[in-house]
Amino acid sequence: MNIKTYLLCGTAALMVASCGGNAKKQVAEGSGATADTLAVRGDSVYTLAVQVGDVQAMWIRDNAADRLMPRTLFPDASDALMDSLGLAGGVPSTVSTFYVKTAGAGILFDTGLGATDSRLLSGLQTFGIAPADVKYVYLTHMHGDHIGGMLTQEGEAVFPAAEVYVSKPEYDYWMADKANRQQVATMEAYKDRLHLFQFGDTLPGGVVAMDAVGHTPGHTVFQAGGLLVVGDLMHGAALQKVHPEVCATFDMDKEAAIGARRRFIRYAEENGLTMAGMHLPVPAFD
Ligand SMILES: [Zn+2]
């Protein structure tokens, strides 16, 4: 995906009118993805809709302030390597979520941190989507920066009509220990509409759940047509896409995480898929 073309347009006075008016502006060379909606707040791009074949993917950046993953998150990488990549000061990143429309369903993938500056709900509103309109939430895994937007401060469900899907190994891992209070409380709030899937299952909307275990015990990559929602496959893409053997400290099973990273980067390349990643840099497509 040619992000540079898009960013050039996005940063040139952030010309929403000319970018947005240029319907179906081509942003992805070879993958067939096109951008048709662009929203900005302040001087930062925070939502973008791209068309990938029959699938529309709407990116919402949950974090308000720009984010660098700290160099200390990647202790396996040498200083020489970080210097050579110009990443000694940190790796550009985001906390992102995606609302994806397939022929059969509209699906929210992960819900960000849910911090006081969260843009998830205002980002959804940008696309005309109210919380009650969200019918499906698919979770890549259950870290706090992926399920944080599911509950209000009072512990109520933010998405009153949403059916929630998470892999069985992921659910089992977090629910086995009551000390995982955020995960337990979140699942409790959605317990009447919770669905545990197995890897290989096809979910509503024709979305296939794929085994990406390593980052967490049930980490999942989802494929919707030409779109691959890769969750936390990479925390610092500028480093890990060229050096998939480098783990972030958050990767719970490093060997498995490295294997999954290699496998899905190759799978996306070989099949011309557009990756949507929860910590890819703006605009979180690759
Ligand atoms: Zn994460």
pLDDT tens digits for range 208-238: 999 999 999 999 999 999 999 999 999 999 9
Angle at 167 between CA 165 and CA 168, to 5 degrees: 115
Q: Residue 136, Cβ neighbours under 10 Å: how many?
A: 23
- CA–centroid distance, residue 214 to ligand 1 (Å): 13
Read off the pTM. 0.88
Q: State the number of CA atoms in the 13 A half-sphere of 192 facing the CB.
A: 5
Q: What is the pLDDT of residues 157-172, one digit of tens each?
A: 999 999 999 999 999 9
d(CA 246, CA 163): 35
What does pLDDT average to over the chain?
Answer: 87
| Residue 112 scores a pLDDT above 60 | yes
- CA–centroid distance, residue 250 to ligand 1 (Å): 8
Q: What is the pLDDT of residues 130-140, one digit of tens each?
A: 999 999 999 99
DSSP secondary structure string, 213-270?
TTSSTT-EEEEETTEEEEETS-SSHHHHTT-TTPPPTT-SSHHHHHHHHHHHHHHHHH
Tokens of 188: 């409790």
- CA–centroid distance, residue 115 to ligand 1 (Å): 14
- Report the chain's terminal Cα–Cα distance, integer Å: 5
d(CA 157, CA 188): 9
Q: What is the pLDDT of residue 65?
A: 82
Least confident of 6-10, 30-34, 234-238: 6-10
pLDDT band at 5 (very low <50, low <70, confident <90, very high): very low
- CA–centroid distance, residue 257 to ligand 1 (Å): 13
- CA–centroid distance, residue 143 to ligand 1 (Å): 6
Q: Which CATH number is 57-277 given?
A: 3.60.15.10
% of the chain surpassing 70 pLDDT: 85
